[in-house]
Amino acid sequence: MTRPQKIAFGEMRAAGVRNVLIYCTDYMCGHCIMVPDDADRWPDELRVSDIEDKFVCTACGQRGADIRPDWTTTKTRA
């Protein structure tokens, strides 16, 4: 299954977003975590969708994640 392309980390940072929300892809698990400042560790051109299949849920062991920018923590630029 091909995942749709999502926002690039550089675009996220430009919009003032540094935190990401990571959701388990197993609908029966529902595990979710917020990772602060995680957007800073990835290169600008890398898309969120490019790394989703590399994550493993720490609650159930399912491979794959749904990663989203945490828009609620947007930092405004001066």
Q: How confident is the model at residue 4 (pLDDT cuts 50, 70, 90)?
A: confident
30-51 pLDDT per residue, tens: 899 999 988 889 999 999 999 9
CA distance 52 to 29: 17
The whole-angstrom separation of Cα 7 and Cα 20 is: 12
pLDDT score, position 75: 64
In this predicted structure, the answer to whether residue 17 has a pLDDT above a threshold of 60 is yes
Cβ neighbors of 54 (< 8 A, separation 6 or more) are none
Q: What is the mean pLDDT of residues 2-8?
A: 81
pLDDT over 60 at 77, yes or no? no
pLDDT of residue 78: 46
Structural domains in the chain, CATH included, are 9-70 (2.20.28)
